[in-house]
Structure 1
Amino acid sequence: MIPMHPKTQQILEVFEEINKIPRRSKHEEQISTWLQEWGRSRGFEVKADSLNNVLIKVPATAGYENSPMLILQGHMDMVCEKCKDSVHDFSRDPIRCIYDGGWMQGDGTSIGADDGIALALGLVLAEAGKKGEIGHPPLELLFTVDEETGLTGARGLETGFFEGKILLNLDSEDEGIFVIGCAGGQNSQITLPVEWELLDFKEENSFGFFRLSVEGLEGGHSGTEINKQRANGIQLLSLALNKLRGKLGIENVRLVLLNGGSVHNAIPNTAEAFIALHREKLEKAEEAMSDIRHAFKAEYAKTDPGLILNFEEISREIIFEVAEDKILRETVSHVRVFSPETEEKLIELILGLPHGVYRMSETIHGLVETSNNLATVRTDGNEVIIISSQRSSSNLRLAEISGKGEAIAKLAGAWVEHEPGYPAWEPNLKSELLLKCKQVYTETFGKEPEIEVIHAGLECGIIGSAHEGMEMISFGPTIKDAHSPAERIFIPSIEKVWIFLENLFKTYC
């Protein structure tokens, strides 16, 4: 283990204690209870709400009694991922932390530094103040639940649960970078009713049954990687179908099923369709598919070099059923095909829905302001269900891009349901808190911090929108490969965050 600042060592010791307690998203009861007991055992005022959010109130140290209240905020839950050969059980087993040079990592598991390190930082700060080791204003340690899967802890905070108006969110993962804004988001479900027809396969050499698929795409995170212009499997598949229908005639290409994508926050890297194709058109179809394949590979040679467009005849024993995000296999009828009208509506709907970057920020260079991810499509009974995921750092633009998708869907005869979204945290480059943090950081470390707005969600967006007058900033130590078994935290960065906070507190004296 490398030599480290005494407070860094204490923070890591507390973090390892936290990692003995199960804290999977939506199962934070034990860590919530532990935090409450920790606070009360040290004489702090503690409260919790019905969701298990926890607030620990830490009185000001001598000389800071008239300083404004500061909130230190992080989330309790973690993403539980492990290697295939790991036998770790996140519901009961302590997470083993390994020191490797300047890093701490897990033993084949994620370690929940996102955001357990925020809990540890807050607790050590509170105890250090109580012992007279540092000075600080009155503090509120606000620890929320279920950030990773729904931001429901922050969303459920009731008015009056905390008092402060200055919030330091400790959930960023690059030391030296201050985050001052994030995108809001909303998912939309588009449902298109399907009209079916029966297609006669009895006649010899009439129709054959084929699978058309797009595979091998890069995909990626629908927020942070939406600007990389990667191919969307659902759109490419629909484009290939549309070109095939145009070459062969819509009466010779009949759609049976279309499915693609996996989850709302990933760019779809696969999609497949089952079609009935008139055998007299097979040679022409293969020529058309060859042309389309070459065009796709040329267009996406840099962004998606592994792109594969498959076109193959399969047995009439079509087997296909969708359950959540997995494809299970089961025999279904293969003589039922989409009506020409439904087929036309579906393909045009998919090709018409927005995907990718919609608008770049006018104030922050290189920032994606607004985007849409055409995420999944499923043929489900008598419906085709499409999920799209919208993000924007402007609440106005978020409503705009969601409305655009809804308008296009309605023109196709579909109906739309919008899930409850989370609001954007709109950046304020003139924030007094930001200016203070920049000055403290520069004076402490001899260089200016970077300022960022991210095209992803943070709890600041929800807290700021629900509690008027909040000043907020987000920062934290360096964490790499969060949400994976390779997750690790850079130990020297913890010391820098501690020293920064110590000096920031002094400015409120």
Structure 2
Amino acid sequence: MNEHLDTLEPSLVWRHFRTLCNTPRPSGCEAALVEKLETWADGLGLAHDRDAFGNLRIKKPASSGCESAPGVILQGHLDMVAQANADTPFDFERDPIRTCVKDGWLHADGTTLGADNGLGVAAILAVLEDDTLTHGPLEALFTLEEETSMGGALGLAESWLEGSLLLNLDSEDRGEVYIGCAGGADVLVDAQLPGKALGDDEVVIELALTGLKGGHSGVDIHQPLGNANRLLVRALRVLDILDARLIDYQGGTLRNAIPREAFARLALPADDVDTAFEKIERLEGVLKAELGSGDPGLSLKARRLEAALDAEPLTRDASAMLIAALLAAPCGVERMSADVDGVVETSNNLGVLRLTDGRFHLCALVRSLHDSAVQALADRFSALFGLMGARVKVENGYPGWAPNPQSALLSTFKAQHAALLGKEPAVKVIHAGLECGILGAKYPELDMISFGPLIRGAHSPNERVELDSVSEFWAMLRVLIEALATPR
């Protein structure tokens, strides 16, 4: 599968990326890939070990004469986001990713590509295999479950890593280097809501909101993208005046992916069905106009269901209360940074909503450059949904990465970037949860930067990577490693 990747340059990187595409690796299912990499390392005579969580480390001794150079840790995460279009049957635990090249970009066929963070991992493997590279002591650190919980980084063993410099290869912009990132936490809301049997004068309709682009809930949160949960809740609110009662709801699949689709079933008086359909048709036009060219594919449709009902609607009061709470819930950019131009400071992604048999569940991801703001926004969720008696938990919190503009590693990167590409990189802070914040908390003496190839549409089936940027990324990684091989 994906034989065409072997024809791309740099061949060493793409060959390893092909292995990653052909080896299923959604979060929590990285074991087969870890074993494959260990076998591969054995073949090269490279030492490897795992910590208690299961994170994998592969070590490569320094080139002759470079033994006293500072140790460099090359770091990436093995897992990928599992997202597929509704019309693309796919089992992320069994099926290989199907890739294709279009207009200078590598895409997947109806699913996420896994360039996040597969290309960073592939580049690390290429470094380990490249015998033409002059380098100091190298450690390759491959973490697990980054996309769902940052579990690998949070569970990373202390006093395990030996290097003093860390290159995180999980960024997604060409010509940029990152020196800081947002922290975050998951907000989980659960409630059991009362129901009441369908009345003789009520019928059931289904709402389907589809066609949105989706995207990364950090780096894309400021883009003019629709959030399917936010928008479908507006449709529910429009029908609330007709005494509609919510039966069930499904929207979004991951807390760190901006939802592309959402579906709901409602009960409402039979006499109001035509009015409901008219309201939904008008709202579709309104939403399309609001989204404009930023997310032009929105579709909002309603249809009457004739089959026997297999679930009980919520009571009128419970339905109205839930819809009102969801409408009021924070979603999107909360505040832009006052210190870093153009960077989001605090945001929330209303990522996953479920209502089944009266059981309501919400999973949101709150991010901020300030840990205190993460807690403050999470507290707003607790206050809001606490009013309806819901249980609210905040978990999987992780710290941000405080920028260090005086970093010696950053200075070396900037100089090598200018020498290789004719200009210094843009120095950035990213509104996403890089593992650097967690790693820095465990290893405070580490000097860290993050960079990578140009990736767009991460966490969605629109994910793609620019081929030319991969060549540039690989060349930059090689010259940087060689520059760091000089003893200090």
TM-score interval for Structure 1 and Structure 2 normalised by the shorter chain: 0.7 to 0.9
SS in 1 for 2:260: coil
* Alignment correspondent of 1:239: 234
Q: Distance in 2 between matches of 1:87 and 1:289?
A: 31
Q: In the TM superposition, what are the counterparts of 1:73-88 in structure 2 within 5 Å?
A: 73-77=75-79
* Alignment correspondent of 1:222: 217
Q: Write the letter of the residue equivalent to 1:354.
A: P
Offset, 1:346: 0.4
SS in 2 for 1:349: helix
**Which segment is superposed worse, 67-76 or 395-404?**
67-76
Native 8 Å contact 1:422 1:462 kept in 2:
yes
CA RMSD of aligned residues (A): 4.2
Structure 1: state its 5+ residue gaps: 1-6, 319-331
Offset, 1:447: 0.9
SS in 2 for 1:457: coil
What do residues 207-229 of structure 1 show as CA deviations (whole Å, max 9, x unaligned)? 34333444444433322322124
Offset, 1:61: 4.9
- Of 368, 380, 397, 1:392 maps to 368
- Of 55, 71, 90, 1:69 maps to 71
Q: Distance in 1 between matches of 2:277 and 2:427?
A: 52
Q: Structure 1 pair 497/102, CA: closer, same or farther in 2 (3 Å)?
A: farther
SS in 1 for 2:452: coil
SS in 2 for 1:117: helix
Q: Write the letter of the residue equivalent to 1:53.
A: N
Offset, 1:22: 4.1
**Which segment is superposed worse, 388-397 or 69-78?**
69-78
SS in 1 for 2:335: strand
Percent identity between the two aligned chains = 35
Native 8 Å contact 2:412 2:480 kept in 1:
no
Q: Distance in 2 between matches of 1:231 and 1:17?
A: 32
Q: Distance in 2 between matches of 1:59 and 1:50?
A: 24
* Alignment correspondent of 1:371: 347
- Of 96, 117, 122, 2:122 maps to 117
Q: Distance in 2 between matches of 1:13 and 1:310?
A: 42
Q: Write the letter of the residue equivalent to 1:184.
A: G
What do residues 244-263 of structure 1 show as CA deviations (whole Å, max 9, x unaligned)? 434x4xxx433333443333
What do residues 332-356 of structure 1 show as CA deviations (whole Å, max 9, x unaligned)? 15xx432232122201110111001
* 1:501 and 2:468 correspond: no
* Alignment correspondent of 1:492: 471
Native 8 Å contact 1:406 1:416 kept in 2:
yes
Native 8 Å contact 1:78 1:115 kept in 2:
no
* Alignment correspondent of 2:287: 296
SS in 1 for 2:245: strand
**Which segment is superposed worse, 144-153 or 426-435?**
144-153
* 1:435 and 2:411 correspond: yes
Q: Write the letter of the residue equivalent to 1:171.
A: D
Q: In the TM superposition, what are the counterparts of 1:65-464 in structure 2 within 5 Å?
A: 65-77=67-79, 113-124=118-129, 127-128=131-132, 134=134, 136-201=135-200, 206-246=201-241, 248=242, 252-281=243-272, 285=276, 288-289=279-280, 291-315=282-306, 317-318=308-309, 332-333=310-311, 336-464=312-440
What do residues 423-445 of structure 1 show as CA deviations (whole Å, max 9, x unaligned)? 32233333332233213322443
Q: Distance in 2 between matches of 1:342 and 1:16?
A: 49
**Which segment is superposed worse, 499-508 or 484-493?**
484-493
Q: Write the letter of the residue equivalent to 2:226.
A: A
SS in 2 for 1:348: helix
**Which segment is superposed worse, 50-59 or 458-467?**
50-59
Q: Distance in 2 between matches of 1:61 and 1:233?
A: 52
Q: In the TM superposition, what are the counterparts of 1:18-97 in structure 2 within 5 Å?
A: 22=23, 24-25=25-26, 26-29=28-31, 32-33=34-35, 36=38, 46-61=48-63, 64-77=66-79
What do residues 134-163 of structure 1 show as CA deviations (whole Å, max 9, x unaligned)? 3x4433333334445544333322111112
Q: Distance in 2 between matches of 1:387 and 1:17?
A: 33
Offset, 1:360: 1.2
Native 8 Å contact 1:23 1:78 kept in 2:
no
SS in 1 for 2:333: strand
Q: Distance in 2 between matches of 1:75 and 1:369?
A: 24
Q: Distance in 2 between matches of 1:107 and 1:266?
A: 18
Query: What's the TM-score, normalizing by structure 1?
Result: 0.76
Native 8 Å contact 1:105 1:489 kept in 2:
no
Q: Distance in 2 between matches of 1:341 and 1:471?
A: 55
Q: Write the letter of the residue equivalent to 1:123.
A: L
What do residues 105-137 of structure 1 show as CA deviations (whole Å, max 9, x unaligned)? 999995864233233243146x44xxxx63x44
Q: Structure 1 pair 388/75, CA: closer, same or farther in 2 (3 Å)?
A: closer
Q: Structure 1 pair 504/343, CA: closer, same or farther in 2 (3 Å)?
A: same
Offset, 1:292: 4.0
Q: Structure 1 pair 253/359, CA: closer, same or farther in 2 (3 Å)?
A: same
What do residues 337-385 of structure 1 show as CA deviations (whole Å, max 9, x unaligned)? 3223212220111011100101112222222222111123222223222
Q: Distance in 1 between matches of 2:95 and 2:204?
A: 49
**Which segment is superposed worse, 402-411 or 144-153?**
144-153
- Give the greater-gyration-radius structure (CA): 1
Q: Structure 1 pair 38/284, CA: closer, same or farther in 2 (3 Å)?
A: closer
Native 8 Å contact 1:211 1:314 kept in 2:
yes
Q: Structure 1 pair 183/60, CA: closer, same or farther in 2 (3 Å)?
A: same
What do residues 194-214 of structure 1 show as CA deviations (whole Å, max 9, x unaligned)? 11223530xxxx434333444
Native 8 Å contact 1:97 1:111 kept in 2:
no
Offset, 1:15: 3.2
Q: Write the letter of the residue equivalent to 2:25.
A: R
Native 8 Å contact 2:70 2:484 kept in 1:
no
**Which segment is superposed worse, 491-500 or 74-83?**
74-83
**Which segment is superposed worse, 264-273 or 27-36?**
27-36
SS in 1 for 2:382: helix
Q: Write the letter of the residue equivalent to 2:351.
A: A
Native 8 Å contact 1:28 1:52 kept in 2:
no
Q: Structure 1 pair 292/161, CA: closer, same or farther in 2 (3 Å)?
A: same
* Alignment correspondent of 2:5: none
Offset, 1:282: 5.2
SS in 1 for 2:306: coil
Offset, 1:317: 1.9
Q: Structure 1 pair 487/304, CA: closer, same or farther in 2 (3 Å)?
A: closer
Aligned residues: 472
Q: Distance in 1 between matches of 2:395 and 2:198?
A: 37
